[in-house]
Amino acid sequence: MAVPKRKQSKQRSRKRRGANQFKGPQLARDPVDGSLFHPHHVNPNNGMYRGRRVMEM
């Protein structure tokens, strides 16, 4: 079985754990009304997708 030759330092452990922090959702701003929505999805506020109305609101 593999066994570590030396103890891993606290700094090294914390660097590894800190590299995987949670990031908030990426949002895009609608050019028509300025609302925020998820990119590549229909805007739930006005029903627009890529400049076309695809849902009646």
DSSP 1-57: ----SSPPPHHHHHHHHHTT---PPP-EE-TTT--EE-TTS--TTT-EETTEE-S--
The answer to whether residue 11 scores a pLDDT higher than 90 is yes
Question: Per-domain residue ranges for the chain?
Answer: 26-57
**pLDDT on residue 53:** 92
| Mean pLDDT computed over 20-34 | 91
Report the alpha-carbon distance of residue 33 to residue 28 in Å, rounded. 12
| Mean pLDDT computed over 33-50 | 93
**pLDDT on residue 57:** 78
Spatial contact of 48 and 37, defined as CB atoms under 8 Å apart? no
| Mean pLDDT computed over 4-24 | 93
CA distances from 41 to 19, 21, 27 (A): 28, 25, 10
**pLDDT on residue 32:** 86
**pLDDT on residue 1:** 84
The model carries a pTM of 0.58
